[in-house]
Amino acid sequence: MTSQRIRSPLPSLLGLLVFCAAVSVAAAAGSSVPFRAGAATSNITPAIGGNIIGGFHPFPSKHVHDDLHARCLVLDNGQTRLAFVVCDLIGLSRHLCDEARRVIQEETGIPAAHVMISGTHTHSATSALGERYSTSPELDDYQKFVARRIADVVRCAINNLAPARIGWGAGSEPRHVFNRRWFLKPGTMPVNPFGNTNDLVKMNPGRANPNLVKPAGPTDPEICFIAVQSREGRPIALLANYSLHYVGGVRGADISADYYGMFCDRMKQLLGADRQEPPFVAMMSNGTSGNINNIDFSKPGEKHAPYERMREVANDVAAATFKAYQTIQWHDTAALGAAFRDMEIGFRHPTPEQLERAKSVLAKIKPGAKPNTLEEIYAERTLRVNDYPQRGNIPLQALRVGDVGIGTIPTEVFVEIGLEIKKHSPLKPAFVVSLAHGYFGYLPTPEQHKLGGYETWLGTNRLEVDASTKIVAALLEMMEKLR
């Protein structure tokens, strides 16, 4: 492990993605050019047989239950143009997103800093992350395909630009969000992959576990959204944000967009926007769901048919969104702005003792065999993160749409972080899009780091313990400049 301070090898995108924030704001006040919006989708379904990731043991897909898409909304107020892209993927690598935005800027003229790209975090998709923990800029074939399709969907959304009105709002659906980290009774914490019982909380502790004490954090039931319609009232698109991990419950080795895709389909039905020309596009971005899932561990489990639970969640979240949609105050134009920066942050590394233990665990595996147990898997991860540089750059973005403030973070973000940004943002309503512009593991708060548990384990978590504090401060500063 080198002690040299190494920055990310990624080049700046045509001079726009620099360490200092690149800020662009335009209110479109007095502009004679009408506010316009356009939306589109592109199919990013992988070939059957690619590995589905999300668990500790990837496995090949065998069936496509529902196609995966890149969904795009482009906004243009006559002075500034923004593009939002949400992909039905567990995540996207930094290099994939950089390549897509490079092509978008080259082919459309939209500045790379004005393009947001994120993944929903469905656990039923082939990986677009490339080799985990890799810092190589080389993209595999599927990543190249996704990058091209992202650029295509932005071009198609631009082709669909038309005079529009814009509005925003927020609904609430508390029935489907639960903090998945729990305190257990003293003496009942199982041994973790590092050979100790130092954790104070456990992720997914089991339904109706008699050793449960209480959840280790809050939830966020809010559904924030931005909507656009034609001047005649025809729905064009809706971009929503909800802080819930994937739901799951697929059949076998199916490919599926999870509840995110079902939400989009249901919103189209509720708004009466089926078979429009151009098609209506709904998008569900992942909020701060790093420690949130759909399981109430205080109650016994219920049996559900494949896809039943995710459809229930999608329908309820869509219903709450539709209810709030009825209260929208529509605007003929809106301020648009974007700020992007590469923030230098420290990476975590194993202690000498952790490194030696990991080597010892892996030495016991038979030649040619893959790590199988949690202990072996985290031993391998320990060696991988040991090769990370001491420091590197992570992409942060802030966007303004009218009164709405949006921050992006390239991790699985804890809900406490999203709630803090919502509280202190100078733009309101505000929300955070997780898994945007890259994937750098989980992002707990320093307080949650002290409690331990899966999301804080070395190999699951990659960034320095104080990373969330620095990221929140940076995003709030960027939002203030946009205000």
φ, ψ of residue 14 in degrees (nearest 5): 50, 35
Q: Per the structure block, which two tokens stand in for 368?
A: 């040619």
Reported residue count of the chain is 483
Q: What is the mean pLDDT of residues 348-376?
A: 94
> With 50 as the cut, is the pLDDT of residue 75 above it?
yes
Residue with tokens 């769901």: 289
pLDDT attached to residue 1: 34
pLDDT attached to residue 57: 86
Global pTM reads: 0.93
> With 60 as the cut, is the pLDDT of residue 22 above it?
no
> With 90 as the cut, is the pLDDT of residue 4 above it?
no
Could you count the other beta carbons within 10 Å of the beta carbon of residue 165?
Answer: 21
pLDDT above 70 coverage of the chain, percent = 93
Cα–Cα distance, 447 to 325 (Å, whole number): 36
pLDDT attached to residue 99: 97
Q: What is the mean pLDDT of residues 310-325?
A: 98
Dump strand ranges (E) for 278-358: 281-286, 292-293, 336-346
- Contact between 170 and 224 (Cβ < 8 Å): yes
pLDDT attached to residue 130: 86
Sheet containing 391-401: which strands, arranged edge to edge? 22-26, 336-346, 391-401, 404-409, 430-434
- pLDDT per residue over 429-477, tens digit each? 999 999 999 999 999 999 999 999 999 999 999 999 999 999 999 999 9
Q: Per the structure block, which two tokens stand in for 450?
A: 């002290």
Q: How confident is the model at residue 35 (pLDDT cuts 50, 70, 90)?
A: very high
Q: What is the mean pLDDT of residues 103-113?
A: 98
> With 90 as the cut, is the pLDDT of residue 137 above it?
no
Q: What is the mean pLDDT of residues 7-22?
A: 39
Tell me the average pLDDT of the chain.
92
The helix/strand/coil state of 463 is: strand
pLDDT attached to residue 13: 40
Q: How confident is the model at residue 19 (pLDDT cuts 50, 70, 90)?
A: very low
> With 70 as the cut, is the pLDDT of residue 26 above it?
no
- pLDDT per residue over 408-427, tens digit each? 999 999 999 999 999 999 99
pLDDT attached to residue 323: 98
Tell me the DSSP string of 134-187. Answer: -------HHHHHHHHHHHHHHHHHHHT-EEEEEEEEEEE-GGG-EE-EEEE-TT
> With 60 as the cut, is the pLDDT of residue 7 above it?
no
- pLDDT per residue over 234-292, tens digit each? 999 999 999 999 999 999 899 999 999 999 999 999 999 999 999 999 999 999 999 99
- Taking alpha carbons only, the member of 229, 251, 248 closest to residue 238 is 229
